[in-house]
């Protein structure tokens, strides 16, 4: 079937996963907004209500991702492959989800202690909750994708950007190829999806020269430096991968240095 089928599969996958994300975010944020208070008892009530729904949605994200990648690889290789399922831990971060989903309340309490008014403090907690939930769904996607691609025998993958607005980190990272044994680096708010590259020889580090050049030109307008070859500045020295203690590989800008665990934003 080739490109037409693969494009249709990608569109369907984006629709399904976008729906999962939108429904979960609506539910989680409504649960937070509807609390009568934000004290310890309310936090416990919130966690008990929300965490099971988050975990169930992560499992759905894993199943949909496995089905999508299996169909994609079957079309690429011409083999008859069926989804075999993926196994996703309830604690993809290595931290109990009950602890993670209490963090928006800790954020609220911290801001109140720092002198912010209640509405501002609650808004900060809500923003933290949004980031946590989006990141957890993206972790389910990347962990499921790695399992599915490994099982299929794929060796390399790329990051395919979402159809909406994409940040510079994702744009430049999408021009690179990655090895399947490595999880796709993400960042808070990232909606990119891993996509296997056709089997065969290593395509090399740069897989989209034209997009890299366009990204270079856009950045050069701000830096005052221009190189039509797209190598100055060297983006591998600017956009790098750092290892986050919970999330795993995290896209970052080199100048963003973490000095210790307490300095890493726990999305």
142 and 160 both lie in a single domain: no
Pair 145, 195 in one domain: no
Q: State which of 128, 153, 178 marks the end of a domain.
A: 153
| Contact status, residue 193 vs residue 145, Cβ threshold 8 Å | yes
| Band of residue 132 on the pLDDT scale cut at 50, 70, 90 | very high
Are residues 168 and 230 part of one domain? yes
Residues 6+ apart with CB under 8 A from 61: 17, 20, 137, 140, 141, 144
Same domain, 114 and 173: no
- Among residues 125, 153, 181, the one where a domain terminates is 153
- Among 50-59, 81-90, 237-246, 250-259, the least confident range: 250-259
pLDDT at 8 over 50: yes
Q: Are residues 161 and 148 in the same domain?
A: no
List the domain range (segments joined by +) for residue 169.
Answer: 155-267
Residue 254: the pLDDT is 56
Q: Are residues 76 and 119 in the same domain?
A: yes
- Write out pLDDT tens, residues 166-202: 666 777 777 788 888 888 777 767 788 888 887 766 7
Number of domains comprising the chain:
2
Domain edge (last residue) among 131, 153, 175: 153
Task: Answer yes or no: do 37 and 136 share one domain.
Answer: yes
In terms of domains, do 188 and 148 share one?
no
127 and 172 share one domain: no
What DSSP string runs through 86-112? ----TTTTSS-HHHHTTHHHHHHHHHH
């Amino acid at each position: 079937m080739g490109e037409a089928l693969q494009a249709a599969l990608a569109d369907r996958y984006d629709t399904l996963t976008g729906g999962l994300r939108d429904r979960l975010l609506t539910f989680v944020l409504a649960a937070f907004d509807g609390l009568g208070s934000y004290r310890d008892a309310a936090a416990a009530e919130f966690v008990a209500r929300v965490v099971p729904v988050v975990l169930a949605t992560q499992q759905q994200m894993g199943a949909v991702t496995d089905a999508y990648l299996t169909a994609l690889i079957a079309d690429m290789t011409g083999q008859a492959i069926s989804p075999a399922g993926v196994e996703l831990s309830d604690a993809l971060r290595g931290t109990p989800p009950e602890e993670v989903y209490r963090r928006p309340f800790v954020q609220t309490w911290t801001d109140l202690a720092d002198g912010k008014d209640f509405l501002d403090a609650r808004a900060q907690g809500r923003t933290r909750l949004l980031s946590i939930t989006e990141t957890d769904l993206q972790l389910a996607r990347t962990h499921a994708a790695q399992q599915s691609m490994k099982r299929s025998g794929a060796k390399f993958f790329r990051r395919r950007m979402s159809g909406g607005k994409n940040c510079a980190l994702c744009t430049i990272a999408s021009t690179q190829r990655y090895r399947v044994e490595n999880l796709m680096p993400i960042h808070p708010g990232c909606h990119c999806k891993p996509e296997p590259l056709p089997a065969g020889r290593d395509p090399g580090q740069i897989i989209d020269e034209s997009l890299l050049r366009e990204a270079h030109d856009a950045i050069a307008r701000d830096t005052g430096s221009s190189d039509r070859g797209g190598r100055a500045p060297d983006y591998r020295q600017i956009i790098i991968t750092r290892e986050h203690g919970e999330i795993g590989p995290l896209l970052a800008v080199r100048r963003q240095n973490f000095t210790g665990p307490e300095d890493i934003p726990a999305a």
